[in-house]
Amino acid sequence: MIKGMAAGAGVAIGNTFLPRVSFGARAAKSAPKRVIFFLQNQGFDPATCIPAGMVNSGSLAKAKLPEPIQALEPYKERLHIINGLHGLHTSPSHSAFFGALGGYRGSDGVPPSGSTIDYELSKVLPETLLPHLCIGMDSMENMTSKPTVANLSASGAGQPIFMHSNPNHLYQMLFGGISRGEIRQQHEARSGMLDRIEQLAAAKGGALRGAEKQRYGQYVQGFNDINGLRERLGKVSGHLQKFAPEVDARYTKPEFETDWHDVLLDLGIAALKSGITSVLTIGSGRGEIFGAWKGLGVEQQGHNLGHMKQPDNPIWIKIRQYNSRMLVRLIEELESVPEGGGSMMDNTLIVYSSNNADAQHTSGKTWPVMLLGDCNGAFKTGRFTQLDGSRPINALYTSILRASGVQCDRFNMSEKLAKKFDSGSGPLKEVLA
């Protein structure tokens, strides 16, 4: 019961909700202050993002973006399309799961073998109340029956971080303390229950011994983290009031799953703008082979979508256009908030890719990525870069860590593994300015 409750509350067992409370902390100039990862399942075919006729690296200034990502045309100067990274070592067929952001071998039902890049960044970016927030978008059936699921992010080996898929639960966690009416009543009832469970668990766990006591202690700590987060959010309720999204019928009476997708994005944006978090991970399809977009007029869903070729496919054009509109929404919302001498977007990096490399059934030979934002000149933008396929996605993650002030030459890749899968070391010179 303890394990299920902790998971249901969205806790990553292993102290995900760290007591980091220096609201408004600032990173060094020309370094990201926040990073957003957006992973679409079923693969990201490079033909859906590379402008027609572009074979070699070059400027995007005179290029016309393909129809699936056309919504990003006004933001080409902030865009960097990268093709030619690989993830052969992650075994990404159907999904690399934790390996997509971890840069290691992943598979269905296999626990993470180490931390993922989003979690590692949450430790070095400006401190926030909730260092890392993960949201997962799926079919209504899956989001309702499994409001949390862990497939993409991890704080360490065997320590998954749960994605939130029910916006009602996530709203209660983030803004329940400043809400009114039924939401406030549910928040208070849930809070009282969690407090009581933590007390009972702490008292009853003392009789256990050895490994059982250690595992039980992790679950007890999970409830302690939840309750501690709730208390810290309560202390900044006046600040949070300015950013809480309006609750409407899309939360309680969604017509389509895309209604929940949209409000989950709203909550992610609110968490960023309010300073609750500095790292947001969005899993469209939640890192698996499922997912549905009936609200876009797409009747096909789940596994079958991955067996369709994406280029010039009207179904995948709709899905990719929907993603692009979400990326535009993120940019516009962050641009609307002043920060330093510019806006929040000036200090933000958005990483768009897939947990499936280029296709559902793939070897991971090519793994397209789009970056949005230059973080005050730290990243090259307005470009298409074609790599030779000899460097892994780990090299991109090393580049982001370097830009964030972490001195490392490799991310989650041993020298032995690098001899087989990486032709170089250190960051990608094509990415960093």
How far apart are alpha carbons 339 and 151 in whole angstroms?
33
19 confidence band (pLDDT: 50, 70, 90): very low
* 402-414 pLDDT per residue, tens: 999 999 999 999 9
Lowest mean pLDDT among 9-23, 169-183, 327-341: 9-23
Take residue 84 and report the two structure tokens written for it.
Answer: 């030619």
The pLDDT assigned to 131 comes to 87
The pLDDT assigned to 239 comes to 85
The pLDDT assigned to 27 comes to 45
How far apart are alpha carbons 413 and 103 in whole angstroms?
8
Take residue 35 and report the two structure tokens written for it.
Answer: 């990073």
Cα angle value 296/300/302 (rounded, 5°):
105
| Average pLDDT score over residue span 348-356 | 98
The pLDDT assigned to 225 comes to 61
The pLDDT assigned to 431 comes to 97
Please determine, for residue 9, whether its predicted confidence score (pLDDT) is greater than 70: no
How far apart are alpha carbons 104 and 90 in whole angstroms?
5
Spatial CA neighbour of 427 closest among 410, 413, 406, 405: 410
Please determine, for residue 121, whether its predicted confidence score (pLDDT) is greater than 60: yes
Distance of CA 209 to the CA centre of its chain: 37
Cα angle value 142/327/78 (rounded, 5°):
155
How many Cα neighbours within 13 Å face the side chain of 304? 7
| Average pLDDT score over residue span 21-31 | 48
The pLDDT assigned to 238 comes to 80
* 173-231 pLDDT per residue, tens: 888 765 556 655 565 555 555 556 556 666 665 655 666 655 555 555 555 566 567 67
Please determine, for residue 18, whether its predicted confidence score (pLDDT) is greater than 80: no
Would you tell me how many other CB atoms lie within 10 Å of the CB of residue 192?
A: 10
Q: What is the DSSP letter of 305?
A: G
How far apart are alpha carbons 163 and 41 in whole angstroms?
15
The pLDDT assigned to 30 comes to 73
* 275-323 pLDDT per residue, tens: 999 999 999 999 999 999 999 999 999 999 999 999 999 999 999 999 9
Q: What is the DSSP letter of 111?
A: P
CB 287 within 8 A of CB 97: yes
Take residue 246 and report the two structure tokens written for it.
Answer: 């309006």
Cβ density class 229-239: b for 16+ within 10 Å, e for less? bbebbeebeee
Sequence-distant contacts of 59-67: CB under 8 A, at least 24 apart = 59/382, 59/383, 59/384, 60/382, 60/383, 60/384, 61/382, 63/384, 67/317, 67/321
| Domain boundaries of the chain, sorted by first residue | 2-170+252-421
Please determine, for residue 71, whether its predicted confidence score (pLDDT) is greater than 70: yes
How far apart are alpha carbons 98 and 102 in whole angstroms?
6
The pLDDT assigned to 214 comes to 59
| Average pLDDT score over residue span 122-141 | 94
How far apart are alpha carbons 209 and 423 in whole angstroms?
48
How far apart are alpha carbons 40 and 38 in whole angstroms?
7
Lowest mean pLDDT among 106-110, 114-118, 173-177, 319-323: 173-177
How much is the CA Rg of the chain, to the nearest whole Å?
A: 21
Measured in degrees and rounded to the nearest 5, phi and psi for residue 58 equal: 175, 180
The pLDDT assigned to 202 comes to 61
DSSP string, 348-386: EEEEEEETTTTSSS---S---EEEE--TTTTB--SEEEE
In this predicted model, which residue has the larger pLDDT, 51 or 205?
51
In this predicted model, which residue has the larger pLDDT, 346 or 194?
346
* 354-383 pLDDT per residue, tens: 999 999 999 999 999 999 999 999 999 999
Q: Is the CA virtual torsion 60, 32, 271, 273 positive or negative?
A: negative
Locus of tokens 């490994």: 211
State what percent of residues in the chain have pLDDT above 90. 73
Is residue 111 left, alpha or beta, with left meaning phi > 0 and alpha meaning psi from -120 to 50? beta
Mean pLDDT score of the chain: 87
Please determine, for residue 70, whether its predicted confidence score (pLDDT) is greater than 60: yes
According to the 3-state scheme, what is the secondary structure of 188-252? HHHHHHHHHHHHHHHHHHHHCCHHHHHHHHHHHHHHHHHHHHHHHHHHCHHHHCCCCCCCCHHHH
* 134-168 pLDDT per residue, tens: 999 999 999 999 998 999 999 999 989 989 999 99
Task: Tell me which fold the domain 2-170+252-421 belongs to.
Answer: Alkaline Phosphatase, subunit A (3.40.720)
